[in-house]
Chains A and B, each alone.
Chain A
Amino acid sequence: MTKGKVILTGNFGVGKTSLFNRFLYNEFGEKYLTTIGVKVGKKAVKVEEVEVTLLIWDLAGEISQDKVPNSYFLESSAVIYVFDLTRASTYSNLEFDLKYLREKVPGVILKLVGNKKDLISESELQTISENLYQKADLITSAKTGENVEDLFMDIARHLLEGKHS
């Protein structure tokens, strides 16, 4: 069976826990219980009849990636870096954070995700996208569920193919 450790990270309030909950329980809720700054969830998905189990670590938001305990990233298969489309401060440090993550977890599947799509217009999205340090892999809404399933399925597929991007 294929298994992978997936880390959800990014600034405080960007919607990591909401994405986590949306994917794991298919609901949009506020339940969030944490003692050590991380919550682990599990989801088994099928990629062309093959089961892939994702163990998803929802990290409590830190302003900067280098403040997250190092060992949380160890041996992870994928890192999802989430930013908030409605708050520029959550994607103004993309360059630093992404470089940091690539260095910290070399060869990891790194997904850049812009969340809270439901709160902005198409033209706003256009403007933000054009000015991003790096093109986002997916634009999601934890509220409507748009692209959330796709995000994790993408990762499961990558894991199965043993392909890294």
Chain B
Amino acid sequence: MSFSKDSIGNSEQLEQLRKILLKEDRAELLRIKKVLEEKEELGKHVSPIIEDHILSLKKNFPKEFEAVVDKQIENKLKASQDELVAILFPALGTMINKYVAYQMSELRESIDARINVTKNTGPIGWFRRNLLGIKDSEWILAKSGEANIEGMYVIEMGSGLLLGSASNVDTMDKDLLAGMLTAIQSFAEDAFMKGQQKVDIIEYDKLSIFTQSYPKFYIAVALNGRLTNSDKEKLSDALLSFVNENLNSIVIEKSNTIEAEIHDAINKRFFKNSETKDTQLILDND
């Protein structure tokens, strides 16, 4: 309804206008009353508004509240870490399980495409190592081109104490690595409830760590890349023959110099330029 200022010149017109306005008011009032009285009607009117609101909230929520919510969550997490761990315990187990399974299947796909060359054990392995001077690590990963052996750690079962090690890089504390790996494995064992799947690859600080267990100890091999199934098999082979030929006797004897003995044995068999490597690196821990 529109009118110009001029049109409300006389009172009669004004009176008429008043009536019209009142009538319209009345009609409007009745309409509102009806709407309020009938829930369904009310819903028809309110729903779109609410939906609009929700939509706009959805759209703007991240922008407007993200920081606040993040901070809230962070505070909450900080305040209840221990309870969280208790909650996460079972979930984490399942996650590791799934992750391992996924990784297995993925690796399985690529293995068929690879040629599994000769074994590392027996006379051929000996021949290659001793006469051709090709170290196991080079041999195992020559075809892979994806992974490099960075370090090898011999760790006592259960206690997680490091018996001996050798590595190319010394970015982390070896004793702590041994301890944490053991904790992770213990945790996984419990979480899987003696499941069929064993964790043999653990991701740690940008490294993939391959582990292989023997009765008294386990060996952890730190690699800076991904292992295919066929790499794993070869590595596994090489480790087993290393254990049988060298490591077992050292561990059983368990002399005072066990750390140095293991260090030398690993270097000799797995690493290049072992002569120039500084054994002190491994022996002084702080």
Contacts and interface: CB of A to CB of B under 8 A. Distances in A.
Interface string A33-58: 01111101110100000000101010
B85 A60 contact: yes
Interface in B18-57: none
A61 interface: yes
B179 A62 contact: no
Interface residues of A, number: 31
A60 B85 CA distance: 7
Contacts of A28: none
Interface in B150-165: 156-162
Range of interface residues on B (Cβ < 8 Å): 20 to 34
Contacts of A53: 175, 285
A40 B81 contact: no
Nearest to A69: B190
B61 to A, nearest CB: 30
Contact of B176 (A13, A32, A41, A70): A41
A120 interface: no
Contacts, number: 82
Interface string A60-86: 111000000111101111000000000
Given A12-B83, A37-B86, A37-B89, 19 more contacts: A3-B161, A13-B82, A36-B187, A37-B85, A38-B183, A40-B160, A40-B179, A40-B180, A42-B285, A55-B160, A55-B161, A57-B179, A60-B85, A61-B82, A69-B190, A72-B186, A72-B187, A75-B157, A77-B159
21 contacts: A3-B161, A3-B175, A4-B161, A34-B81, A35-B88, A36-B184, A36-B187, A40-B180, A42-B175, A55-B161, A55-B176, A62-B86, A69-B187, A69-B190, A70-B190, A71-B187, A72-B183, A72-B186, A72-B187, A75-B157, A75-B158
